[in-house]
């Protein structure tokens, strides 16, 4: 029987296996050692490697600053920022130190830092713990932004991120932690910088990430009963983006719908819309690009308000239908 693991257990297994393979890998962050992390992702690591798992004070700037120095010395730190919202606290260390390291020293100084951070809404964590921060990060040359949507991807992409010599921001959607899927027991890596076509289709291309990927797949399955063929693409690495896979798909379908959880203005979908409007694709478009996003407001705490603000299946279905019918 295929083995199934939760998203969180897949991440935990990746950390254990990466540490077993490379003694230069270590874990650092708030409550990641003895407690095993706020979401339990680092459980069992301190017990096995007490000299390679470090609890820190509540100072994200210190965590990433230490990681930059450690990486320059040849180590491979894996930092946990408890909530992606708090990346703003250490933004200077990420943007002006880690992201510039390889460029400043011509590749001779390593920047092999992996920063894990839980992101996204939908679990009633309110304003300061529910933001989708990928647009903050996707304008920073030198950074790699990774966003898995399945347990299989979580393990394979985290292993690959730890092995990569660039600073990686590894976004883990909180709503996916308990999702289960098939995960091989052996160590494996999945290629960074490469999108995956989750479902093939011919009428419309839907690009979605993290929790929104499952929403897009559910919409595609439902619309297939109506005779609408939906191709679903998950970028997996948000930056640098695998534009070619998206361009080839939209070139065939002539239609693009982007499903992103964060607010619409200046979001991930805006960049995809710009790509679709470029000289490479404009003449192939049969309809305007549609974006399904959260409202341009902070994420509310009240469940009914959070549900109203965020994308849902009905909104995705309406967007795809209107694009195909245009």
H/E stretch holding 170: strand 168-173
State yes or no: is 129 an active-site residue.
yes
Q: State the Cα–Cα distance between residues 4 and 7, nearest whole angstrom.
A: 10
Residue ranges, comma separated, of all CATH 3.40.50.970 domains in the chain are: 4-182
The DSSP secondary structure of 233-263, one letter per residue, reads EE-SEEETT-HHHHHHHHHHH--EEEEEEEE
Tokens of 277: 């409007």
3-state secondary structure of 181: strand
Pick the CATH number of 196-325 from 3.40.50.920, 1.10.1450.10, 3.40.50.880, 3.30.450.20: 3.40.50.920
Using alpha carbons, select from 214, 212, 261, 268 the residue that is nearest to residue 243: 268
Strands 25-29 and 4-6: unpaired
**Rounded alpha-carbon distances, angstroms, from residue 149 to 43, 209, 214, 243, 283:** 21, 7, 8, 19, 32
Q: ω before 144 within 30° of 0 (cis)?
A: no
Spatial separation of the C-alpha atoms in residues 104 and 72, rounded to whole Å: 12
Hey, what are 6's tokens? 């939760």
Sheet of 168-173, strands arranged across: 53-55, 25-29, 76-83, 114-119, 168-173, 144-146, 237-239
d(CA 258, CA 273): 8
The CATH superfamily of 4-182 is: Thiamin diphosphate (ThDP)-binding fold, Pyr/PP domains (3.40.50.970)
Give every CB contact of residue 45 below 8 A, 6+ residues apart in sequence: 15, 16, 19, 27, 32, 33, 36, 52, 53
Residue owning tokens 């990060």: 137
Q: Would you call 221 helix, strand, or coil by DSSP?
A: helix
Q: 242: which 2 tokens?
A: 């695998």
* Tens-level pLDDT at each residue, the chain (326 residues): 678 999 999 999 999 999 999 999 999 999 999 999 999 999 999 999 999 999 999 999 999 999 999 999 999 999 999 999 999 999 999 999 999 998 888 888 878 999 999 998 877 877 788 789 999 999 999 999 999 999 999 999 999 999 999 999 999 999 999 999 999 999 999 999 999 999 999 999 999 999 999 999 999 999 999 999 999 999 999 999 999 999 999 999 999 999 999 989 999 999 999 999 887 789 999 999 999 998 888 888 888 888 888 999 999 999 999 999 99
Paired strand residues for 6 = 180
Active-site residue, selected from the candidate residues 16, 128, 129, 173: 129
Please, where in the chain does CATH 3.40.50.920 lie? 196-325
Question: pTM for the full model?
Answer: 0.95
């Amino acid at each position: 029987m295929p083995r199934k693991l939760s998203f969180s257990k897949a991440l935990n297994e990746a950390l254990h296996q990466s540490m077993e393979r490379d003694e230069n890998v270590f874990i650092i962050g708030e409550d990641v050692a003895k407690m095993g992390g706020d979401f339990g992702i680092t459980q069992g690591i301190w017990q096995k490697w007490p000299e390679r798992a470090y609890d820190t004070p509540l100072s994200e700037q210190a965590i990433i600053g230490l990681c930059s120095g450690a990486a320059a010395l040849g180590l491979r730190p894996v930092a946990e920022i408890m909530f992606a919202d708090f990346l703003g606290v250490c933004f200077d260390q990420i943007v002006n130190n880690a992201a510039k390291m390889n460029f400043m020293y011509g590749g001779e100084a390593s920047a092999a830092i992996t920063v894990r951070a839980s992101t996204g809404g939908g679990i009633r964590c309110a304003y300061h713990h529910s933001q989708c921060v990928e647009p903050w990060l996707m304008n920073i040359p030198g950074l790699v932004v990774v966003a898995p949507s399945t347990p299989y991807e979580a393990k394979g992409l985290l292993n690959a991120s730890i092995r990569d010599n660039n600073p990686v921001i590894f976004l883990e959607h909180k709503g996916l932690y308990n999702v289960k899927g098939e995960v091989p027991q052996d160590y494996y890596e999945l290629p960074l910088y490469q999108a995956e076509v989750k479902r093939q289709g011919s009428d419309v291309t839907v690009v979605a990430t993290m929790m929104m990927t499952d929403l897009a797949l559910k919409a595609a399955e439902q619309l297939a009963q109506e005779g609408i063929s939906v191709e679903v693409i998950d970028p997996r690495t948000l930056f640098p983006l695998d534009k070619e896979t998206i361009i080839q798909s939209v070139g065939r379908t002539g239609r693009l719908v982007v499903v992103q959880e964060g607010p619409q203005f200046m979001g991930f979908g805006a960049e995809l819309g710009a790509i679709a409007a470029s000289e490479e694709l404009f003449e192939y478009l049969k309809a305007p690009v549609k974006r399904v996003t959260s409202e341009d407001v902070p994420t509310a705490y009240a469940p009914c308000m959070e549900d109203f603000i965020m994308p849902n299946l009905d909104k995705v279905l309406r967007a795809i239908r209107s694009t195909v019918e245009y």
